[in-house]
Structure 1
Amino acid sequence: MTKSYQQLLNLPNILTLSRIVAVPVVVVLLMFESKQTCFWAAMVFLAASLTDWLDGYLARKWEVVTVLGKFLDPLADKLIVMAALIMLIPLDRVPAWAVFIILARDIIVSGIRSIASSEGIVIDASPLGKYKTIFQMIALVILLLHYQYYWFFGVQFDFLYASMHHVGIIIFYISLVLTIWSGVDYFAKFFKIFAR
């Protein structure tokens, strides 16, 4: 294996690629919806979400940031989130109109950043976008779990009997507000920069 391949196939990039591989796994598990398959879909999604933080951290720490990694990382994020959101629509866990807003915002922001990049301008990710991602990931894990669970290793305590869907949908709507807010923030930054 040549040195250039070794540089491309570093651990952060492998973690990012594993997130892309997780996409069809989540889709297939949700196609055969049951309490068990939804649980495993949530676990795969959670593991993929954790690699999102880990790959960036390792790339910066080890100074192995590559062009491939910069391309694959946001692509992997969008693919896993889009897959989960779209699969949750027919399961009646998220409203289609909200999914449209989230996907439209991501496409528009990607377009804005591409235009700015072509002009040599970098529009930094805002804290709002980071909070949006955190709330979105948490909401999706909980909405994938969906069913009611007895906690503490199956011991049945009525006061611990929680509906994952009700908790998840509240966090989902918080993430939706942050999605719209951060999208407006990107627009404002874009027009402010180009107005100059």
Structure 2
Amino acid sequence: MPTNIPNQLTWFRILLIPVFIAVFYVSDETLSLHHKHLLGTFVFWLASITDWLDGYLARALNQSSAFGAFLDPVADKLMVIAALIILLQLGHVDAIIAFIIIGRELTISALREWMAQLGNSKSVAVSLLGKIKTVFQMLAILFLLYQEPLFGIPTRQVGTLLVYLAAVLTLWSMVYYLMLARRQILEKSRSQN
């Protein structure tokens, strides 16, 4: 297991997940809901920054590794799922939206693993559409976590709009990846019949 700087940042992001969750389980007497939102937003923002930074450093320092390529998306998905569950529990996101985003992440992860077993993982590599979906998703989560006006911006309303857009992009990107893998899926199902 390589312990280069990008992988250390990814591990740090994974370690932030229980910290993020714990923020919302501290008693209200210890930490007010206002402070939980502020601290939770900060922890999620920090995790998001490390996600960008580890990828940048892996390329800039030529420290890309197979382990990092595996661990990075796992860390991302765990952080997003944790945030969506917390937002769902707080009543800041609809269950159907959380299901769409989490379901897509699981489906595409399984698809990528299956395509890798077929030796064709490049056909479902991360696309620009996937990156745009991630930006909308991260911004939506940040706004929904913050919950208070920011420089006159109604973060809850903007976050709600962004999470619905992220859900649409999530479905669109899932269909896109499934279409990319369609030929292999059809060939595999024909060979099994």
Contact 2:97 2:163 in 1 (8 A): no
User: Residue by residue, what CA displacement relative to the aligned partner does 1:34-89 show, whole Å, maximum 9, x if unpaired?
Assistant: 11121111011111101111101111121111222112101100011000000111
Q: Work out whether 1:30 is the aligned partner of 2:24.
A: yes
Amino acid at match of 1:15: L
Q: Which of the residues 155, 172, 180 maps onto 1:189?
A: 180
Cα-to-partner distance string for 1:70-115 (whole Å, 9 max, x where unaligned): 1210110001100000011121100011101111111111111111
Amino acid of the structure 2 residue aligned with 1:52: D
1:163 aligns with 2:150: no
Report the 3-state secondary structure (helix = DSSP H, G, I; strand = E; otherwise coil) of the residue aligned with 2:92: coil
Q: After TM superposition, give the deviation of residue 193 of structure 1 in Å.
A: 4.2
Aligned-partner SS, 1:120:
coil
Paired residues for 1:123-138 under 5 Å: 123-138=124-139
Unaligned runs of 5+ in 2: 27-31, 188-193
Residue identity over aligned pairs, in percent, reads 39
SS in 1 for 2:119: coil
The total of aligned residue pairs comes to 180
Cα RMSD (Å): 1.5
What amino acid sits opposite 2:181 in the alignment? F
Q: State the TM-score, normalized to the length of structure 1.
A: 0.86
Letter in 2 for 1:114: E
Q: Over residues 109-137 of structure 1, what are the superposed CA-to-partner deviations in whole Å (9 max), with x where a residue is unaligned?
A: 11111111001002221211110101100
1:85 aligns with 2:116: no
**2: CA distance between counterparts of 1:75 and 1:14?**
14
TM-score (normalised: structure 2): 0.88
